[in-house]
Amino acid sequence: MFETFILNVDLKMNQVFLTDKEIKDNLFPFTLLRSAADIRIGILTIREKWDNYSGSQVNVTDDPDNIPDNATLVSANIIPSSAFVDSLVKDGKISDNPLWTSVKIIQYPWHIFMWNDWAIREDFPMVTKNRYSEPVPETVHVTNPREIFIERGAKLSHCIINASGGPVYIGKNAEIMEGSVLRGPVAVCEGATVKMGSKIYGATTIGPYSIVGGEIKNAVIFGYSNKAHDGYLGDSVIGEWCNLGAGTSNSNMKNNVSDVRMWNESQKEMISTGVTKCGLIMGDYSRSAINTSFNTGTMVGICANVFGEGSPAKFVPSFAWGNSGNMKYEFDKAISDIEKWKKLKGHTLDEKEKTILKLIFDQ
């Protein structure tokens, strides 16, 4: 499914290049508007993990044949670990055993939530190394405080954090409101908000400036998205700038407990995920109306507005208007709506991204 190139092992002396050229289509819809290197899993994105391990800023390339001779080229869907980096030997080869036992590889979008438990546990010691957590407020009840790290500016009040099953990371300026219960491994990233009475099970990542509520289990929510009300989200991945209306829930298991099938963009058909639990995969800028009920193994592309009677189709394409996916969003209206959503969090949609969205819309 991929190739890995190691051209030089002195990562602190030379540049690291990540490429997703060979695997981009398999990671739809999350690679329509970003490189696979910018997928968030665990606490950090894949690119940010490489930045930490290499000791310098890594590069992303769509042209792996034209990089400096002394560079290190790696497939962007490989999630690095300290053991993986240590496995690079002087003759430029990777020892087979460390490669396959110490890393995870995202070949399909559902692998993001499947490997999130592992990724949070890998990131936690790297992010907190040689640092001290902010003190736990007196009103917060904690279990296993050694596995809890609170960044400066985070607000926690009258909540419960249980790190007995895995670490809990609370990012800078994040807020955990009263009555919330977090059971690790969990990552609440910078500026994110966990609303009152939320139930967050591991292994869950709440991306930067996202707002969550209700019940969430084994899910990854990228930055600036909202699941701010009651409803269940499990074994799922939600892109950036998404909004799940109040009461939105997903099923994560079929009632006959058989393997879940999900849409694969590269093959243009439903394929087996190989697992019995798989919920909702939703691309950037997509939204659902209140009380939307997503079936097991539903995939939604980017910029879709999901609403209407009954459950949505198992595959809702990009720029869909409504549950069935048969009607198309008017492009100008889609852009106008995106701009309104971004304005709510103090951001704007730049011309470069508008151009990319128009190319995807026209396809």
* Mean pLDDT on 312-333: 94
Burial 93-114 (b: 16+ CB within 10 A, else e): ebeeebbeebbbbbebbbbbbb
pLDDT digits (tens, 9 = 90+) for 53-109: 877 778 888 888 888 877 778 889 999 887 777 665 333 455 555 556 778 899 999
pLDDT tier for residue 13 given thresholds of 50, 70 and 90: very low
Average per-residue pLDDT in the chain? Answer: 90
Query: In this predicted structure, which of 98-102, 181-185, 203-207 has the lowest mean pLDDT?
Result: 98-102
Position 193 pLDDT exceeds 90: yes
Residue spans of the domains in the chain: they are 16-107, 126-362
pLDDT digits (tens, 9 = 90+) for 105-134: 999 999 999 999 999 999 999 999 999 999
Least Cα distance to 83 among 118, 41, 117 occurs for 118
Query: In this predicted structure, which of 21-35, 53-67, 87-101, 286-300 has the lowest mean pLDDT?
Result: 87-101
% of the chain residues with pLDDT over 90: 77
Phi, psi of 25 (to 5 degrees): -65, -35
Token digits for 358? 């128009």
Query: In this predicted structure, which of 58-72, 174-188, 323-337 has the lowest mean pLDDT?
Result: 58-72
Q: Which residues pair with 232 in a beta bridge?
A: 215
Residue 86 is predicted with a pLDDT of 66
Query: In this predicted structure, which of 89-103, 179-193, 273-287 has the lowest mean pLDDT?
Result: 89-103
Burial class (CB in 10 A: 0-12, 13-18, 19+), 269: exposed
Residue 94 is predicted with a pLDDT of 52
84 three-class SS = helix
Residue 266's CB is within 10 A of a number of other CB atoms, namely 13
CATH superfamily of 126-362: Hexapeptide repeat proteins (2.160.10.10)
Q: Cα–Cα distance between 246 and 293 in angstroms, integer?
A: 11
* Mean pLDDT on 256-267: 93
Stronger pLDDT, 21 or 106, i.e. the higher one: 106
Distances (CA, A) of 86 to 53, 98, 214, 268: 10, 9, 41, 39
Query: In this predicted structure, which of 55-59, 136-140, 226-230, 263-267 has the lowest mean pLDDT?
Result: 55-59
10 three-class SS = coil
Contacts of 23 (CB under 8 A, 6+ apart): 1, 2, 36, 75, 76, 77, 107
